[in-house]
Chains A and B, each alone.
Chain A
Amino acid sequence: MKPIDNKKRRTWWAVPFIAIIGLTLYGCPSQQNLAGSSDAAQKVYVAPGEHDEFYGMFSGGYSGQMTVYGLPSGRHLYTIPVFSQAPVSGYGYSEETKPMLQTTHGFIPWDDAHHPEMSQTDGVPDGRWIFINANNTPRVARIDFANFQTAEIIEIPNAAGNHASPFVTTNTEYISAATRFSIPMDEETLENQDVSISSYAENFKGTLSFIKVGEEGEMNIDFQILVPGFNYDLSHAGKGPSADWSFFTSYNTEEAHTLLERNASRNDKDFIAAVNWRKAAELVANGEGREIPAPHYRNYMDHNEQRAKSELVETVTVIDPIENPGIIYYLPTPKSPHGVDVDPSGRYIIGGGKLSSVLPVHSFEKMIEAIENEDFEGEVDGIPVLNYDSVIHAEVENAGIGTLHTEFDGKGYAYTTAFISSEVVKWSLETFEVVDRIDTYYSPGHLMIPGGDSMQPEGKYLVALNKITKDRYLPTGPELFHSAQLIDISGDKMELLLDFPTDGEPHYAQGIAADIVKERQIRFYQLEENNHPAATKTEADTRVERDGNNVHVYMTTIRSHFAPDNIEGIKVGDKVYFHVTNLEQDWDVPHGFAMLGARTAELLIMPGETRTLVWEPQKPGVYPFYCTDFCSALHQEMQGYARVSPAGSNVPISYGTGN
């Protein structure tokens, strides 16, 4: 028998020790970040009375809304109702806001909101508006930063799924939107066809839409570009030298129609479509393209009348790249790219190689050169495909597995999320080498740096928008909220500062310095500017009027009473319209209006605003109504009664307050 030498014996001794250490650390994946946590706490602490430095505007995903967070505190400040009805305020329930959710498919009170995008001036977020897409029923909404309310929603015809949307050009000339799903479209009218799904390759087409933004933010679809039947995934407009171009990723260039997980992952390279939007816009302005019937709604808040209006737009102009060469080129990009991001200088176009082991970086300069030299490796449906080797500038090695999205810090670095390897990877825009990486918890999709997709990023914080939460918080049930992580990127090494929970399923987010937004805020609506047709501006004007089976109650609220607060003469079978005007002219004094048995929602009426609730009482009796927003020491007393008599009874209309 060979004696065990001492050296080996010592090694064996260590085994249980290593095992114990290993067991202790097991389940503490964040161990590496615990060092310096008090330092991190100080960096995110916003003392009472102090304001956060940035507003973070997060998409709500399947909540259909937009949520507002303070950064660096991670505090949830507000939820803006956009595509979904919101009982919290009656958005989408009140007569004034219902038109916002009108579509050619009817009233659609929900959606899947993915990408917030701020308006820009000279390539920098300007704090006027923020846009967000509805992924399911193709729509784009504009939210006004002055009051954090949805100001306009436009429907996008000839599209199915609206994922690559809404991305703005550097002076908010256009917002682009691309169809996620291609559909069979009639050659002439682009109408959705009743054809076999297996005829995909032959019949299915897609569109890229360019929505023009007016001075007041009003949106209209200036033109759509007909494109091959791929899936269009994400987009970004160029900037600086590339400002006239927009870039769209595509997958399923295989044109598969079933089990895409396998069938759309065959090609080594798919495409980033480079679209010269300025040229296309000029062509359309000069009469190119054809106007086709394409009914779609434009819903907007009429600020004068304080109510939303729906306008049916009948047509859209479509331009075909086959007939108009030079407006679109394909950049081959490995492999099923997801994100496409343009660096602050506008020189590099970075594809998120979702299934690729390298991160491809295209050069805009090389792209233009290749176009001029007609350096094409082929064409697809008449669209030239540029030579990969001629346009690729670099491939970032070891940029993680499943790279999705990239943002920039303005200091020469790019930050890319890697979904599969669950990390954020920092790399240099000079050497195209990875310089730092940090684990995320877990599986990040988008990431956000305030201004990080603009020409002037504020390279201080990065937010990773993680898809999986697992063990980061107390378990709340099978569905865990999604977690965001705030990472300090001001130094050489990224440092995790904070986890915070989010609402819905946020995809993308954008951030802006709070100072830019704060100065634009209005605090209440001027009563004298309220031209709502059913507004009641003084208590003396309050009244109840019968018009057949409709009863209109012109009501006011002020701390702490309704006028009128006693109403009689309503009958079963009546449709009662409560037109409630909040007379307050002070900030943060909304009043609520809730009616027993109301089938829609309450109203939450901002100071100076008018909102209308429809109530159809079912049974006789006396029904209380009350204010739902705690408004004063006498809030609980802010209530009233509506008497409902049987149908056909002859109780006259009467009303009063304080009799």
Chain B
Amino acid sequence: MGTKEKSLTAVAALLLGLVFFVPIWTIDMDAPQYPEGIGMEISINKIEGQKKNDLLNINGLNHYIGMKEITPESIPELKIMPWIFAFLITSGLVIALWGNRNALLIWILLFVLLAIAGLVDFYLWGYDYGHNLSDDAAIKVPGMTYQPPLIGTKQLLNITASSWPGPGFYISLISMGLASYAFWSGKSSSKEN
């Protein structure tokens, strides 16, 4: 890998540092009784309401249908994900210094696999929350589940739930793109040599 590729790889790795500061996913909910909207933002290390008490109020709503309370402290992914990203950043930087193209390929593949695993995990998480409802729920609609969509918009009772990637996700995509470009660019330059 030339200096350009090494630099690109380093940038790709360092860019991931931004993911610590912005949400990776957002879930918006619209309902007539929430004229200003209500929603949550999922980051790699925390889940927060879009407004100060949204999470509290979402939990308040969810308890009528028997959904588990969303307590960020009890979600193990929020503890693991920062380490995964820390690993991607450090390994990416090491590869950038080392300049090994194969290692970069492995880094990219690993990143993609982790991203897919993350999405699958997120889907399963949504599935669990939406399906695994308390038998004591006050409101039961036969056949109704409350799983939010992975991506897109879905009507859940009177609530329109919209789930979309947040800035953290796009930053990860850009990082992947830069790394792939560095790999591809390194390939063509090695041919010329």
Contact = CB atoms under 8 A, between A and B. Distances in A.
A586 B64 contact: no
Interface in A591-650: 632-634
B61 to A, nearest CB: 9
B30 to A, nearest CB: 16
A632 B60 CA distance: 11
B56 interface: yes
Contact of B139 (A558, A584, A633): A633
B134 interface: no
A220 interface: no
Contact of A633 (B52, B53, B57, B64): B64
Interface in B28-83: 52-53, 56-57, 60, 64
A585 B64 contact: no
Given A633-B64, A634-B64, A585 B138 contact: no
A586 B58 CA distance: 11
Given A585-B52, A585-B53, A586-B53, A634 B60 contact: no
A298 interface: no
A559 interface: yes
A101 B66 CA distance: 45
9 contacts: A558-B60, A585-B52, A585-B53, A585-B57, A586-B57, A632-B64, A633-B139, A634-B64, A634-B138
Interface in B109-167: 138-139
Interface string A452-472: 000000000000000000000
A50 to B, nearest CB: 13
B139 A585 contact: no
Interface of B: 52-53, 56-57, 60, 64, 138-139
Question: Which 10 residue pairs across A and B have the least CB separation, nearest first?
Answer: A585-B53, A586-B57, A585-B56, A634-B138, A559-B60, A586-B53, A558-B60, A585-B57, A633-B64, A634-B64
Given A585-B53, A586-B53, A632-B64, 14 more contacts: A558-B60, A559-B60, A584-B60, A585-B52, A585-B56, A585-B57, A586-B56, A586-B57, A586-B60, A633-B64, A633-B138, A633-B139, A634-B64, A634-B138
B54 to A, nearest CB: 9
Contacts of A632: 64
Contacts of A634: 64, 138
Nearest to B35: A49
Contacts of B52: 585
Contacts of A585: 52-53, 56-57
A69 B53 CA distance: 30
Contacts of A586: 53, 56-57, 60
Nearest to B63: A559
A559 B63 CA distance: 10
Nearest to A526: B52
Contacts of B57: 585-586
B111 to A, nearest CB: 39
Which residue, of A558, A586, A634, has the highest number of chain B Cβ atoms within 10 A? Answer: A586
A586 B52 CA distance: 10
B182 to A, nearest CB: 47
Nearest to B38: A586
Contacts of A559: 60
Which residue, of A585, A633, A634, has the highest number of chain B Cβ atoms within 10 A? Answer: A585
B59 to A, nearest CB: 10
A406 to B, nearest CB: 42
Nearest to A658: B136
A634 B60 CA distance: 12
Contacts of B138: 633-634
A474 to B, nearest CB: 35
A559 B52 CA distance: 19
A586 B53 CA distance: 7
A633 B63 CA distance: 12
A348 to B, nearest CB: 47
Contacts of A558: 60
B50 to A, nearest CB: 13
A558 B60 CA distance: 8
Contacts of A633: 64, 138-139
A560 to B, nearest CB: 8
Contacts of B60: 558-559, 584, 586
A584 B60 CA distance: 9
Nearest to A607: B53
Nearest to A608: B53
A385 to B, nearest CB: 61
Nearest to B61: A559
A584 B59 CA distance: 11
A559 B60 CA distance: 7
A584 B52 CA distance: 12
A585 B52 CA distance: 9
A558 B52 CA distance: 17
B177 to A, nearest CB: 41
A632 B63 CA distance: 12
Nearest to A49: B35
A147 to B, nearest CB: 17
B78 to A, nearest CB: 22
Which residue, of B53, B56, B57, has the highest number of chain A Cβ atoms within 10 A? Answer: B53
A216 B52 CA distance: 26
Contacts of B64: 632-634
B116 to A, nearest CB: 37
A659 to B, nearest CB: 13
Nearest to B36: A587
Contacts of B53: 585-586
A658 to B, nearest CB: 9
A220 B53 CA distance: 38
A632 B138 CA distance: 12
A587 to B, nearest CB: 9
Nearest to A524: B53
A326 B113 CA distance: 88
